Amino acid sequence: MKTKALNITQLQKKFQSQELSSVQAVKDYYCKIEKSNPKLNAFLEIWKEKALENAEISDQRIAAKKARVLEGIPIAIKDNFMIKGRIMSSASKYLENYISPYDATVIERLKNAGAVFLGRTNMDEFAMGGSTENSAFGPTKNPWDLSRIPGGSSGGSAAAVAADFAPCALGSDTGGSVRQPAGFCGINGYKPSYGLISRYGICALASSFDQVATFTRSVFDAAKLTSVMAGADFRDPVCQPNEYIDYTSGLDNLDTLKKLKIGVPKQLADYQIDAPIAKIFEQSLEKLKKAGAEIVEIDVEAYQYVASLYKVIMCAEVSANIATFDGIRYGYRSPNGVNLNDEYSKTRAESLGYEVKKRILFGTYVLGAKNYYRCYNQAQKVRTLLIDELNAAYEKCDVIFTPASLQMPVKFGESLPEESDIFIMVANLAGLPGFTLIGGQTENNMPVGVHFLSKR
């Protein structure tokens, strides 16, 4: 029995009816991975032996009617989540041989729920980028068109789900890193509110933006994974002490659409949007209207500052977080240093990529004594302004609806305009939940994502 692009819910039905075992499903995924991963480079490493062993245990539990909520469900994990005893490289030469000493909170929760980890997926180095070209281990290709980027930074996870190497995958989203590649690869990408899921055990990029996020084939699956992973964790100080919530409940009630007020930012008109995206976005609006939703125009002037303020705050936080990679405690250490300072600088020069160095330099600059008030502090004020404007917009609407990206995925070596993902980036700046869904397909069969930005 071959698994054909099944989602979690469909897999679970087949497991329950014994039409398919977890072991067989895992074997089928590996079969596809072994055949096509050399072409796509979605996975950096696979864990076949352990996965089959765990799938076997899951099959026994299912047979004994002791199935846990994700029993035997295969999942791909972005290479910046710690799994005890496994390499977590963050696609950097610096952490190439780093072995995680413990499980990230979400990994622990997924393990306890019976999920089966297939392997770790490629990404932009330390999640810096939007194309997966910044990986130290080569780029990932977009399964829909191998000459194009899959998006990023979680491009490996997005490609893995799109190529049906796995029914779902984990990513991290600091400025759209799950929701942008989800759109480029034609799957769902969901980032919950800031603080809903613990980031303990995940390689930090920008701590006031970072959130765990999911790639799935259905909205229901995203809600299911989120229900397993969310909830209080004293090891992440910003994690909200929520009671357990089943996020899948009520999802099948389409009546909610009838009362929904959907806000479309007036500012979309200020940007160049690729024609197929503009067309599919309009068609999606029509569908929403037909389903009973009311479309209202909203005005958020601060969109114009999003790219700049994201860059200032993100790089500032990067320069602080990456300071831990000094070649002394763990990771790469240059054999060429002649004194301590030389050791630091050679370690970094030899092991970090261009994008990472650029961000450390810029972040250090904006935090410098002379620039702190002019750049960093100013950016934080504008961030508050943005949040205030979004709050005002939510007086008029329930959700904000935009394209997931203003541009189609480019070819390798070409770059996307800086503002291509500002409409999804605001989710991280304001701590809001965002969801990329498939809006449609272009005439060349490339997927196009649309994005809902909701209140916390």
Catalytic residue among 90, 135, 177, 198: 177
Is 128 among the residues that bind ligand GLN (CB under 6 A)? Answer: yes
In the complex with ligand GLN, the residue whose CB is nearer, 127 or 404, is 127
Q: Which of 88, 161, 205, 322 binds ligand GLN (CB under 6 A)?
A: 205
Q: How many residues bind ligand GLN (CB under 6 A)?
A: 12
Is 173 among the residues that bind ligand GLN (CB under 6 A)? Answer: yes
Separation CA 263–CA 298 (nearest Å): 6
* 153 catalytic per annotation: yes
Is 183 among the residues that bind ligand GLN (CB under 6 A)? Answer: no
In the complex with ligand GLN, the residue whose CB is nearer, 166 or 314, is 314
Q: For residue 430, give every residue at least 6 positions away whose Cβ sits within 8 Å of its Cβ, in sequence order, or none.
A: 383, 386, 387, 390
Is 189 among the residues that bind ligand GLN (CB under 6 A)? Answer: no
431-435 contacts at long range (C-beta below 8 A, 24 or more positions apart): 431/193, 431/194, 431/195, 431/456, 432/193, 432/194, 432/390, 432/456, 433/190, 433/191, 433/192, 433/193, 433/196, 434/179, 434/190, 434/191, 435/179, 435/188, 435/189, 435/190, 435/191, 435/219, 435/222
Separation CA 415–CA 170 (nearest Å): 25
Region near ligand GLN per CB under 6 A, out of 121-129, 194-202, 220-228, 442-450: 121-129
**What letter represents residue 411's amino acid?**
K
Strands 211-216 and 294-298: unpaired
Is 153 among the residues that bind ligand GLN (CB under 6 A)? Answer: yes
Is 449 among the residues that bind ligand GLN (CB under 6 A)? Answer: no
Structure tokens at 437: 């869904």
In the complex with ligand GLN, the residue whose CB is nearer, 128 or 260, is 128
CB of 131 to ligand GLN, least distance (A): 8
* 177 catalytic per annotation: yes
CB of 406 to ligand GLN, least distance (A): 13
Separation CA 149–CA 278 (nearest Å): 20
Which spans in 368-448 are helix H?
A: 378-393, 422-430
Is 406 among the residues that bind ligand GLN (CB under 6 A)? Answer: no
**C-alpha to C-alpha distances, 118 to 81, 115, 228, 414, nearest whole angstrom:** 13, 10, 18, 31
Is 192 among the residues that bind ligand GLN (CB under 6 A)? Answer: no
Is 176 among the residues that bind ligand GLN (CB under 6 A)? Answer: yes
Is 317 among the residues that bind ligand GLN (CB under 6 A)? Answer: no
In the complex with ligand GLN, the residue whose CB is nearer, 129 or 403, is 129
Separation CA 406–CA 416 (nearest Å): 9
In the complex with ligand GLN, the residue whose CB is nearer, 62 or 170, is 170
Structure tokens at 88: 């977590």
Region near ligand GLN per CB under 6 A, out of 4-12, 124-132, 155-163, 235-243: 124-132
CB of 282 to ligand GLN, least distance (A): 26
Q: How many CA atoms lie within 13 A of 326 on its CB side?
A: 10
Structure tokens at 271: 């940007």
Is 127 among the residues that bind ligand GLN (CB under 6 A)? Answer: yes
Is 211 among the residues that bind ligand GLN (CB under 6 A)? Answer: no
Catalytic residue among 21, 78, 218, 405: 78
CB of 176 to ligand GLN, least distance (A): 5
Backbone angles phi, psi at 346, to 5 degrees: -70, -40
Angle made by CA atoms 122, 82, 178, in degrees to the nearest 5: 45
Separation CA 326–CA 190 (nearest Å): 33
Region near ligand GLN per CB under 6 A, out of 139-147, 172-180, 221-229, 383-391: 172-180
Q: Which residues bind ligand GLN (CB under 6 A)?
A: 127-130, 153, 173-177, 205, 314
Q: Tell me the catalytic residues.
A: 78, 153, 177
